[in-house]
Chains A and B, each alone.
Chain A
Amino acid sequence: MSTEDTMHNNEHDHEHHGNFWTTYVFSTDHKIIAKQFLISGIIWALLGGALSVIFRLQLGFPDMDLTWLKPILGEWIDMQGKLDPEFYLALVTMHGTIMVFFVLTAGLSGTFSNFLIPLQIGARDMASGFMNMLSYWFFFVSGVIMFISLFLETGPASGGWVIYPPLSALPQAMSGSGLGMTMWLLAMALFIVSTLLGGINYITTIINLRTHGMTFTKLPLTIWAFFLTAIIGLLSFPVLLSAALLLIFDRSFGTSFYLSEIYIGGEALPNIGGSPILFQHLFWFLGHPEVYIVLLPSLGITSEIIATNSRKPIFGYRAMIGSMMGIAILSFVVWAHHMFVTGMNPFLGSIFTLLTLIIAIPSAVKVFNYLTTLWKGNLVFTPAMLFSIGLVSYFISGGLTGLFMGNSAIDIQMHDTYFIVAHFHLVMGSAAFFGMLAGVYHWFPKMFGRMMDAKLGYVHFWLTFIGVYLIFFPMHYIGMAGFPRRYYSWTNFDTFNGFTDLNMFVSVAAIVTFIAQFIFLFNFFYSMFKGRRATANPWKSTTLEWTTPINPGHGNWPGDIPKVYRWPYDLSKPVNEEYSKKLSEKEIQEMPDFIPQSVPFSKTPETNFQNENELIALEKEENKAIVVNEEK
């Protein structure tokens, strides 16, 4: 195999010999930056998860004495050992913010776009390593600010992760809208800068730095997903920045973009003429594409993993790209379905119902394509494959409930109840999370040169997969019963007085699922140093990253960058008619069931289709050097 050759080539050709700081901290190498994003993401995920455990304790066991949390939460636990209702809201808000932005946007795109784009398209690094480094450090600073805000005396931002004004604009309305909100806005502004720097880089790299032969129709679906994600991010995040900026003006400089006719704290405010709805439009103009910014990379990752481990080409490669493009475009014109009952013009509601339900079509196509890829495959259940199948399951369950929420008439009752909580935690939260975990299990050997322990991976998967369903499936029932979200307790209402058992059950499931993540943590850090050494291509995959040395250095390939001849899904390609007569049964049996993208058609006459044979001539004409290189 050609990969074996290149491995032994002068490995240190492109290695830069920097010190610890330039190699591991202020690195411009995309692989190190990816790992920085990944580890930051893991830390944030733990924190975000821990916050949810605390508020689940409140919801599941409202009478519990939480005094034991006093060392961490201090004054937020009162003398009776009860959680402060305002801090409950702060927990909910920070859980959402952290998970959506810091884990599933930065942790996911930041990790895998950075890691896989150069490796899978055949580039030495990102277009601008420096910008890439800046992207991480902006994210880091943003994280530091957000983290510090957790410890403010007045509490962190508490108005929900959507930070609707006037609640978020007026410190009189809740204490979290004071300094906590200021820091939230500052952190998000820096976060947006980070995302934009990253996004520009991903797009430029994919457009300009593809290796010879890597046309857009030969790109792995991961790259397509990252590409579209970056474009969505680049177009929508600036809108959030402007929304945040106007909010900053309203908060600090007395403008009235979002404020009008407010009487609060015993006085009538002078602000007139603003519209809180304006903020919601601006926010959801990012907020909805954000869902796909979170989800698309995961869908790309699973496409790759499911194809590889089914030993089958992904079904409908072009349809997959088409549906991702469809989703990307439609994601910009559905935002107001979050606002059906805000008093927005009902006619707008009709339009957005229509557009919203249209977006279900490309999503459905994707699901069917996944299923068909599994059909008659030869399925290998690596942990990554398990998580990918888990993702498809969540995507179906959560996606289908979207048809309720997207339909404005049904949404009247379901809006802001636990039904929506169940919906988005499955389709966006858990599905994206599973894509991320699948990606970690799958590309861990490439990242660290070692394998993660598969058995621990299985245990982690089953506990998490079942756990997540036990947490979120019951919430559908709770939501149908009308329970509103962001409630500290429901006992004030006769209507919402039931389901104490079910809420307790959900909380227990959440705690168990959270603890199960420590299996992953152990596996991750233990395997990094003590795991079994990886082989060059442990999953027998076709994409370019597996043609690099086991531990790729700076520049990724020691010699020339491999050229690409075929699409990334030549798995279990059948022997053509001509050769099935020539070769014996045994010979056919022993042929590898995958052909890497870097293998030219001239090397695989047995499996070439008619039109591919015609390409052989082109290969020689275009580049004779490559043939020489291969034979070396």
Chain B
Amino acid sequence: MFQVVIGIGILLIVLILFMLFRIGTLLDVVKGSGQKTVTKSNKVNALLFFVFLILGFGSIFVYSYVYFDDYNIPLASEHGADTDFLFWVTMVITGVVFFITHILLFVFPMKYSYNEKRKALFFPENHKLELIWTVVPAIVLSILIFSGLKVWGEITSKAPEDAEVIEVMGQQFAWTPRYPGADNKLGEFDYRLISVDNKMGVDFSDEGSYDDFIPREIHLPKGKPVLFKIRARDVIHSVFAPHFRVKMDAVPGMPTSFHFVPTKTTQEMRNETENPEFNYELACAEICGRGHFAMRMIIVVDTPEDYEKWKSEQMSLVAQNETLFGLVPDDKKELAIIKGKVEVKEEVVTESSEEEIIETEENLEEAQASL
């Protein structure tokens, strides 16, 4: 019933509008305004451009000022300071051009709206003017280009030797990070080794993999260079950590990387934003399917001490999962036990659940039995 009333209402409004339109056109015919070059509307349109200019600029200024903190996400990386600076330099330059050109574009209609008594200026070309507005943008642009390229060069340069290496793998629809453990060497991987247990396809015949661990959230040390080694398991994803100004696609079959230096711990950022619940987040920025909007992972930035402590508390893959331990070739099992700290006791476990502790102990026993 309600819908019928709405329907009739809309119909009536459309009919009234149509009648108004008919009356308007008939009036125009009577007044003969169709024959004139311009009617009163010409002045009205010209005025509207001017009104639009004032209101438009007004709203931009007010919104940009009042909501500044809402649309600027806090910064937490070294190179981010450079790109943000470039962003704002470009903003100032384009802003000036934006305002000047729009003032001209919307004031000219007022100033030069049609007047029968006036004749337009025949002004087909002026080489000097044209040269000026080719050369000036060229100079400004080259400044932007070269400052941009300098920063780009630094960001994409080779990662420092002492960088903390963390592998980040994208899959539908989650991120999995892998840390190289104490030996700072990530074990090899092969996508053909991927299984339910071995979701990253780690090659457990490689000794580098024995102390690798997969935590639930990414931890980073403050003030130290971090290298993300990025890959994807199924389709393209994109690592996007907005606070660190980090974005790099995760491509199946083509490992990529991005290195940066975090500058603020999570706690510092909580204080800064006055939000005790603040967390750094990792998102996906390349369409990857149904769950594209839900690929969230928390990133925690610790002080270097806390970071080392956290790292030492993590349980290696082989220690965590007996199936994975079973993948280790027999002649290397001993090494795996030593490197993977399979004999570690429960005081270690802060992040893992009770269940996993038990699981680990079982692993431990089994490992010892197999010796």
Binding site for B on A (CB under 8 A): 85-86, 89, 159-160, 164, 166-167, 170, 173-174, 259-264, 268, 272-277, 310-319, 341-343, 346, 349-350, 353-354, 357-358, 360-361, 364-365, 367-369, 371-372, 374-381, 386, 389, 392-393, 396-397, 400-401, 403-404, 407-410, 412-417, 451, 453-456, 458, 462, 465-466, 469, 473, 477-478, 480-482, 484, 486-490, 492-496, 498-499, 532, 540, 569, 571-574, 589, 593
Q: Complex Cα distance A587/B132, Å?
A: 39
Chain A neighbourhood of B155, CB < 8 A: 409, 412
Asked if B137 and A275 sit within 8 Å, CB to CB, the answer is: no
For the A-B complex with A85-B291, A484-B293 known, give 16 more contacts whose Cβ atoms are closer than 8 Å: A167-B289, A174-B290, A261-B191, A277-B251, A350-B153, A371-B108, A378-B112, A381-B114, A393-B105, A413-B83, A453-B25, A455-B24, A458-B41, A473-B60, A477-B63, A482-B73
B212 interfacial contact with A, CB 8 Å: no
Asked if A310 and B287 sit within 8 Å, CB to CB, the answer is: no
- A481 nearest CB neighbor, chain B only: B71
The smallest C-beta distance from A450 to any residue of chain B, in angstroms, reads 12
Choose among B106, B191, B281 the residue that contacts A262 (Cβ–Cβ < 8 A).
B191
Contacts A160-B287, A409-B155; A277 near B247 (Cβ below 8 A) = no
- Within 209-268 of B, Cβ neighbours of A (below 8 Å) are at 230, 233-236, 238, 240, 242-243, 245-249, 251-256
Chain A neighbourhood of B114, CB < 8 A: 311, 378-381
Chain B neighbourhood of A477, CB < 8 A: 63-64, 67, 70-71
Chain A neighbourhood of B236, CB < 8 A: 164, 166-167, 276
B82 interfacial contact with A, CB 8 Å: yes
Asked if B145 and A261 sit within 8 Å, CB to CB, the answer is: no
Choose among A164, A372, A414, A532 the residue that contacts B129 (Cβ–Cβ < 8 A).
A372
B34 interfacial contact with A, CB 8 Å: yes
The smallest C-beta distance from A180 to any residue of chain B, in angstroms, reads 14
B116-124, B304-312, B313-321, B332-340 - the one binding chain A: B116-124
- B95 nearest CB neighbor, chain A only: A400
Return the 6 tightest CB-CB contacts between A and B, nearest first: A260-B253, A343-B256, A346-B156, A482-B242, A400-B94, A572-B120
Asked if A268 and B194 sit within 8 Å, CB to CB, the answer is: yes
9 contacts between A and B (CB under 8 A): A85-B291, A167-B288, A272-B253, A311-B120, A403-B94, A410-B90, A413-B83, A494-B278, A574-B122
Binding site for A on B (CB under 8 A): 21, 24-25, 28-29, 34, 37-39, 41-42, 44-46, 48-49, 52, 56, 60, 63-64, 67, 70-73, 80, 82-84, 86-87, 90-91, 93-94, 97-98, 101-102, 104-106, 108-109, 112-115, 117-126, 129-130, 133-134, 137-138, 141, 144-145, 148-149, 151-153, 155-156, 172, 191-192, 194, 201, 230, 233-236, 238, 240, 242-243, 245-249, 251-256, 277-279, 281, 283-294, 296
Asked if B123 and A360 sit within 8 Å, CB to CB, the answer is: no
Asked if A312 and B122 sit within 8 Å, CB to CB, the answer is: yes
Asked if A374 and B112 sit within 8 Å, CB to CB, the answer is: yes
The smallest C-beta distance from A348 to any residue of chain B, in angstroms, reads 10
- A417 nearest CB neighbor, chain B only: B285
Asked if A493 and B286 sit within 8 Å, CB to CB, the answer is: no
Asked if A413 and B87 sit within 8 Å, CB to CB, the answer is: yes
Asked if A415 and B285 sit within 8 Å, CB to CB, the answer is: yes
